[in-house]
Structure 1
Amino acid sequence: MNIDTMDDLPETALADVKPARGRFNNNNVIPLLESFYPPQQIQVMREHGVDQRMMFGINPYYMALVKGDEYRDAEGTLLLPAMPPSRPLEALVVPILAEAADMSGEKDPSNQIRYSPDSLKGKILHKYDEIVLGYSALACSAHCRYCYRLDIFNGSTGKGLIKPDELKAYIVDYNTRLAASGGVDPATGVARYPIREVLLSGGDPMVLSNKNVYRYLAAAAEAGVHLVRIGTKEMAFRPQRFDANFGVMLEYFHRQYPDVHVNLVVHFTHADEMLERDADNHYVRNEQGYYRWLPAVRRALDEVQRFGFVTLENQTPVIARVNDDAQALRILQEELRRNGIKPKYLFQCREIEGHAAFAVPVERAWALHNESQRGLSDTARSRFTMSTEWGKLEVVSVIDGPQRDGDSVYAPDIASVFADGLVVMKMHRSPAGATQQGDLIIARRNPQALWLSGYEDRIVYDGRKDVADKFKRYVLAEQAGAGVVDRRRAVPA
């Protein structure tokens, strides 16, 4: 298709997959919920505030996938074959009473607003120097009950949309000021880094029209970034969104900005979102012995993977009753990689309000992830990570205490100190100038901990502390011509 201007971009016609969204007394929502619960149980959930915590939202495609119904588009093309209901996917989107039983947690997960500059408060996050996140949409085509953007949907923290021109202006201004200071923070003398990437997030940017997605891509490109990420779950929720018209938009964008890479960060949480199952609920294999992908997802992948400037990665949290199974995680990662989607992060469920209903304890989630990596090549592996206020903490190891059969791995003089065992976390990514990157947080074990907060009173080494002082001591030592400087402990990564 010959496209000369943005106004010529064709739109993706998806009227048949408009989501039903609302409180539990909404006329569009009631019949959907009643396919899972009797009316009195829905009323009990309302009385306990489950729909105040998060509305129910789902679209016809994903509803059919959850229920196991055959689903065809308006032209009669098969998108989903009839299959057994998917219990993991039901647990992903269908509300439960336990959500409101324990509402402990953070309104603004990981204190994101701390990293939102005053000029665009609540519209962007600039947590890591090299990348800025822009809220480009405030809706999704279905609602994950564990969603850590809960505050966007219930409006509790005042986050809102960034306009494309605001996003562009912020990046240009930041990079210009940084260049003028020689790439150094004038207040601290610490090296800082220009913005080279943009992450379009929300909500889900793929609920936008093709023209609006293009506007954000173009704004980022005109600001001089190298790569634009689109964080989306639509490949699982609504794969029809990635049709030929979306491909036309990508092609047009590449002609205008040939040096800018597009990275789709998709969000497959369980293999039921992409693989066909038989009547016995086993994944179907083709004649060559490979798992057969769902037709709609296969077509979506074929559409975007024909472009060399587009890559795909996957990230998802570990969620109770959804994917808290090592074999399920292994199949997910292996199949994604075989089909050109690189597994990136497996996250610990964030400490949102109501997270206790979904979170798997950190140490158990680490063990599941660690087991899921067995038998996977390095190209199919992921990192198990907590995305905290202090950056992305990779849970490196969970170590038993010294009370084990045979010889203790601990030295005798410290064995009693670590009787509970240890959890070792690495600062995989740290905010701003990344001065803490590579450092560790080591804590005594707590098998009940659902988040870093469950270890705060057990920490025996905390790499978050005194980072500025460490760097200052290093600089002063260098200036004074001191002898050996312990760079490992003093120098920011």
Structure 2
Amino acid sequence: MQQVVNVQEPVITPRRFKVYQHRQLDKIEALNKVPADMRFEMKVVANVLPFRVNEYVFNELIDWENVPNDPLFQLTFPQKDMLEPSAFQRMADLMSGKHTTNEVFDLATQLRDEMNPHPAGQMQMNVPHVDGEPLPGMQHKYRETVLFFPAQGQYCHSYCTFCFRWAQFVGKATRFNSNDADQLHRYLAQHKEVTDLLVTGGDPMVMRTRKLQHYLENLLKPEFEHLKTIRIGTKSLTFWPYRFITDPDADDLLRLLEKLVSAGKHVSIMAHLNHPNELRTEVCQEAVRRLRNTGVQIRCQAPLLRHINDDPDDWATMWQKQVSLGMIPYYMFVERDTGAKRYFEVPLEQTWEIFRKAYQQVSGIARTVRGPSMSAGPGKVEVQGVTEIAGEKVFALRFIQGRNPDWVQRPFFAKYDPNATWLNDLKPAFGEQKFFFEDEYAQMSAMD
């Protein structure tokens, strides 16, 4: 008879959450290793783009001997070239001389408006309406899926420098958020075509469990039988894994997730993981173990980013590590056309080559991952490759998801462009004047 071996759970010491924002940059002792001119550059950028980092991230995840090249440093600390040169210089000149807080704020607001703060028509096209009135804090872009932005979850344990929702966190910009659970529930009850709810932000895991429970527990009622899947987008597994272990209401959170699963809902934690180094700590691995014990699935996604993960070996290693921990590789995204994209974007051809070389290194069990995918206005467009057809070099593309479900899985082709980084850079191949979806998408845009 085989002996059962009891694996002892690691003892995780509780940790106090301590966070630093742009006004506390000088209080981060580790930055004393960084030259003074670089620290000033970081302050300039942090006055335009959001900055927030906690002690766990910079003490446990960053290799300070490898700064500024360390990928987790690049992921969380601002760099000069994240701003256009002229934009950087304008803010640097202002901050170098006599200035007021209001002057810095006004210039930052102007610079942010030049950085496409709300891409893919999300302010105009994605907001659902009831009786002609928009519902704040919700988006309904695809037939099956509703996004909800709880007001209490519109920040993160740390901010990613590449964030495509950066405008949620700065100034007085228009933001998506709602604390109206009744409105969410009424909309979902009325829309039987919706099978998936994605609770997103920011990061919903910054919320106390009782707040999350307020939004989710009612979804177990019979009128929500059509809602099959609850997704929660979060970076907390690697930016604050204590949320699932030693935070005061960590056990309550796990019980809530277990209750949802036991009642028949599919619950997916949509984990944002950008580099294999994020997964190396014992506390992160214990958080993954505890989450999986509730019956939830953990699906992993990230954009491909210059300076952070533009290496196929890093992706292959990350996917393999995810699988070994019981997580599911899900998406490789193309960096969106917003914010600091100029610093992070990689040409589509190179992005596809990195994906392909990483994909070749893993077994079928990790090939659940899809991509590279652009979350563009018309939908999620996958770059399937670069090929030659009838003597013309082209990009092969398809919709993974579309505003019109009929677009999904329809292949289409674009002229080869080695410099293209986004769907808007591409032109139809074979002498066509428009992509097959353009007229219908234009009509959708005009309606909104």
TM-score, length-normalised on structure 2? 0.79
Contact 2:76 2:159 (8 Å CA) reproduced: yes
Contact 2:62 2:72 (8 Å CA) reproduced: no
Q: Which residue of 2 aligns with 1:333?
A: 319
Contact 2:413 2:428 (8 Å CA) reproduced: no
Structure 1 residue 121: deviation in Å?
A: 4.4
Residue 249 of structure 1 aligns to which amino acid in structure 2? L
**1:153 and 2:153 equivalent?**
no
> Following the alignment from structure 2 to structure 1, what is the Cα–Cα distance between the partners of residues 255 and 331?
28
Q: Which residue of 2 aligns with 1:302?
A: 289
Q: Which residue of 2 aligns with 1:216?
A: 215
> Following the alignment from structure 1 to structure 2, what is the Cα–Cα distance between the partners of residues 14 and 159?
33
Q: Which residue of 2 aligns with 1:168?
A: 185
> Following the alignment from structure 1 to structure 2, what is the Cα–Cα distance between the partners of residues 15 and 240?
7
- The verdict on how the C-alpha distance between 1:318 and 1:35 changes in structure 2, with shifts beyond 3 A counting, is farther
Structure 1 residue 215: deviation in Å?
A: 1.8
Contact 1:435 1:467 (8 Å CA) reproduced: no
Contact 2:61 2:278 (8 Å CA) reproduced: no
What SS class does the counterpart of residue 360 from structure 2 fall into? coil
> Following the alignment from structure 2 to structure 1, what is the Cα–Cα distance between the partners of residues 18 and 136?
27
Q: Which residue of 2 aligns with 1:388?
A: 376
Structure 1 unaligned segments of length 5 or more: list them: 1-12, 70-82, 176-193, 276-293, 401-409, 469-493
For this pair of structures, how many residues does the alignment match? 385
TM-score, length-normalised on structure 1? 0.72
Summarize the alignment of residues 56-455 of structure 1 with structure 2, pairs less than 5 Å apart: 56-68=51-63, 87-101=70-84, 105-113=115-123, 114-118=125-129, 119-136=133-150, 137-154=153-170, 155-175=172-192, 194-222=193-221, 224=224, 225-243=227-245, 245-252=249-256, 254-255=258-259, 258-275=263-280, 294-308=281-295, 310-381=296-367, 382-384=369-371, 385-399=373-387, 410-411=389-390, 415=391, 418=392, 421-431=393-403, 433-455=404-426
Q: Percent identity?
A: 23
What SS class does the counterpart of residue 337 from structure 1 fall into? helix
> Following the alignment from structure 1 to structure 2, what is the Cα–Cα distance between the partners of residues 318 and 87?
16
- The verdict on how the C-alpha distance between 1:18 and 1:363 changes in structure 2, with shifts beyond 3 A counting, is same
Q: Which of 17, 31, 40 is the aligned partner of 1:43?
A: 40
> Following the alignment from structure 1 to structure 2, what is the Cα–Cα distance between the partners of residues 252 and 138?
21
Residue 56 of structure 2 aligns to which amino acid in structure 1? Y
> Following the alignment from structure 2 to structure 1, what is the Cα–Cα distance between the partners of residues 335 and 55?
27
Structure 1 residue 359: deviation in Å?
A: 0.9
Contact 1:218 1:253 (8 Å CA) reproduced: no
> Following the alignment from structure 2 to structure 1, what is the Cα–Cα distance between the partners of residues 154 and 180?
12
Structure 1 residue 264: deviation in Å?
A: 0.5
Structure 1 residue 306: deviation in Å?
A: 1.2
> Following the alignment from structure 2 to structure 1, what is the Cα–Cα distance between the partners of residues 256 and 241?
21
- The verdict on how the C-alpha distance between 1:337 and 1:44 changes in structure 2, with shifts beyond 3 A counting, is closer
What SS class does the counterpart of residue 191 from structure 2 fall into? helix
Contact 1:164 1:216 (8 Å CA) reproduced: yes
Contact 2:209 2:252 (8 Å CA) reproduced: no
Summarize the alignment of residues 10-25 of structure 1 with structure 2, pairs less than 5 Å apart: 16-21=16-21, 23=22
Name which one, 1 or 2, has greater alpha-carbon Rg: 1
Contact 1:95 1:145 (8 Å CA) reproduced: yes
Q: Which residue of 2 aligns with 1:290?
A: none
Residue 145 of structure 1 aligns to which amino acid in structure 2? T
Structure 2 unaligned segments of length 5 or more: list them: 1-12, 88-113, 442-448
> Following the alignment from structure 1 to structure 2, what is the Cα–Cα distance between the partners of residues 14 and 203?
24
What SS class does the counterpart of residue 53 from structure 1 fall into? coil
Contact 2:228 2:266 (8 Å CA) reproduced: yes
> Following the alignment from structure 1 to structure 2, what is the Cα–Cα distance between the partners of residues 29 and 44?
11
Q: Describe the superposition over 1:39-71 as per-residue Cα deviations: whole angstroms up to 9, x where unpaired.
A: 443334545xx22431321011001124448xx
Contact 2:257 2:294 (8 Å CA) reproduced: no
What SS class does the counterpart of residue 313 from structure 1 fall into? strand
Alpha-carbon RMSD across the aligned residues, in angstroms, is 2.7
Structure 1 residue 122: deviation in Å?
A: 4.5
**1:465 and 2:442 equivalent?**
no
Q: Which residue of 1 aligns with 2:96?
A: none
What SS class does the counterpart of residue 446 from structure 1 fall into? coil
Structure 1 residue 110: deviation in Å?
A: 1.2
Q: Which residue of 2 aligns with 1:289?
A: none
Residue 452 of structure 1 aligns to which amino acid in structure 2? L
What SS class does the counterpart of residue 144 from structure 1 fall into? coil
Q: Which moved more, 1:148-157 or 1:100-109?
A: 100-109
Structure 1 residue 265: deviation in Å?
A: 0.8
Q: Which moved more, 1:200-209 or 1:373-382?
A: 373-382
> Following the alignment from structure 1 to structure 2, what is the Cα–Cα distance between the partners of residues 246 and 464?
46
> Following the alignment from structure 1 to structure 2, what is the Cα–Cα distance between the partners of residues 148 and 53?
14
Structure with a larger share of its residues in helix:
2
Structure 1 residue 146: deviation in Å?
A: 0.4
